[in-house]
Structure 1
Amino acid sequence: MPSKRLNLLIVAAGLGVNFYGLYGVKFGLPMVGYGGHFQFLTVVGLLVTTLSFTVRIINLLTGTLGPVYEALTAIATPVEGLISALYWPIVLYDKKMLVPDDTIFDLPLALDISLHLIPTIVCWADFMIFNTKFKRSPIHILAIYAFTMAYFVWVNVCYEHNGYWPYPLFGMFKNDTQRGAFFLGCGWFCSVLYKIIAKGHFNIHLGDKKEAVKNLKDRKSQ
């Protein structure tokens, strides 16, 4: 059985990193325009992850808010995986796909990792190792697609106000149909990540499940 104290320590550390990331973005990277920093998937995802970590800590300390945590982590974990999977290859290939030509791309390494890597690691560790009560649900997949398309609508609203996309990558598509297909593809990728971590979770905790079934049978036979 995973250690509750270790789980609390890891999630608390992850929450601290998230606060550092949000603080660094807010005060270190000035942003103008409609939507501000919340135009960016990284920041939106980090906000959801921060809420997930906060609720998780409350859940570990009090045993409450379990369903809220399950809903948040089912979205945050694959979305953070998507952010890391997209961000690092794109940065290595062409940074200009993520920032305009006239922007100085000088994100400090510590802040960069805090935004695009550590939240993913903590999310996946908490989900796969410590979340022993997780149950796979099609509602989680629906929530992932709903989040993806909500962000698609949101960036279009920001574009209508600002006249530019938060990521130049979005402007490379010819029309909204292509952009929508890209977002659907991202939603599909998140759903695949969800299925992968759900399968990994099942394999990791298979022994715990067998033991729980055995204990239940023993109680019924008494």
Structure 2
Amino acid sequence: MYRPVFHISVVILNLYSFWYDQMYLDFPYPNKEYAELSFKGRQVFLTIWCFTLQTIYFAVSFLNDIVGTDAPAPKKTPLIRTLKDHLFCLAFPVAIYVSTAFWTIYTVDKKLVFPDYIEKIFPVWLNHVLHTLVAVFMFIELIATRRIYPSRTFGIFYTLFFSMCYVVYIHLLYAHTKMWPYPIFEVLNLAQRILYFAISTVIAIGFYLIGEKLNAAVSKGSTMPYVNGHANGHMKKNK
């Protein structure tokens, strides 16, 4: 019973947070073209891509609680369960990356990701919903539910595809507006940006592999993570 309550609670919190942002927060964008974008230009931030992905994941998880299954290795896997499992393998590394990258850069030089003019109007609770709880919720989910990972090839592909979509998007955005979504990119030249994105991608893949290993450790019924489309090991029978 606790799983559906947890899942729907996260969805409600996220939807409320987004509603609050849209209703009460107005960022003084230096570029007017950003301010004219839909959703007050929030979609330019990786944080919001992560936040949207997590909201979708927990909504699907709630539906799986109602009409799917949380069995470690169901004999017949419902479509909603497969969708949930595949979304998790992407939502986990993205959430851990966003939380880790934000707070690391914030600690080193916060103006590169969270300038004073934004921090002054941004509620502390909302900052933690977007940059802290996304990771906390995914670790709770890792422990509280069961999932069957897709093949490592597919899982890493999902992570790479998501990352590349965002990189391409912000470069197209820059070509149109001559402004980066995060101040950190203003101080990096082309070679440094390429290195930054390359390192970020490697870190994201690392977080994917960590999620896969942690899943194998906590998921009852599975001895090893899925590697090449089949379990690398065997599925234990439930006693």
TM-score (norm 2): 0.78
Matches within 5 A, 1:68-79: 68-79=83-94
Matches within 5 A, 1:204-219: 204-205=218-219, 207-209=220-222, 213-214=236-237
Match of 1:8 among 4, 11, 14: 4
Matches within 5 A, 1:155-170: 155-170=170-185
Give the corresponding residue for 2:229: none
1:113 matches 2:128: yes
Change (3 A) 1:214 1:123: closer
Give the corresponding residue for 2:193: 179
More helix by share: 1
Higher relative contact order by CA 8 Å / sep ≥ 6: 1 or 2?
1
1:19 matches 2:15: yes
Deviating 4+ runs (over 6 angstroms): none
Q: How far 1:27 sits from its partner (Å)? A: 2.4
Distance 1:195 1:26 in 2: 35
Give the corresponding residue for 1:45: 50
Question: Structure 1, residues 143-195: CA drift from partner, whole Å, max 9, x if none?
Answer: 101111110010111112222111011122111x4323322322221111111
Give the corresponding residue for 1:220: none
Give the corresponding residue for 1:96: 111
User: Where does the alignment leave 5 or more consecutive residues of structure 2 unmatched?
Assistant: 28-34, 69-78, 224-233
Question: Structure 1, residues 104-148: CA drift from partner, whole Å, max 9, x if none?
Answer: 422211111111111221122213441243455320111101111
TM-score (norm 1): 0.84
Distance 1:128 1:93 in 2: 31
User: Where does the alignment leave 5 or more consecutive residues of structure 1 unmatched?
Assistant: 217-222
Deviates most, 137-146 or 28-37: 28-37
Q: CA RMSD in A?
A: 2.3
Change (3 A) 1:148 1:16: same
Give the corresponding residue for 2:209: 195
Does structure 1 retain, via aligned residues, the 8 Å contact 2:102–2:131?
A: yes
Q: Percent identity?
A: 23
Determine helix, strand or coil for the equivalent of 1:131: coil
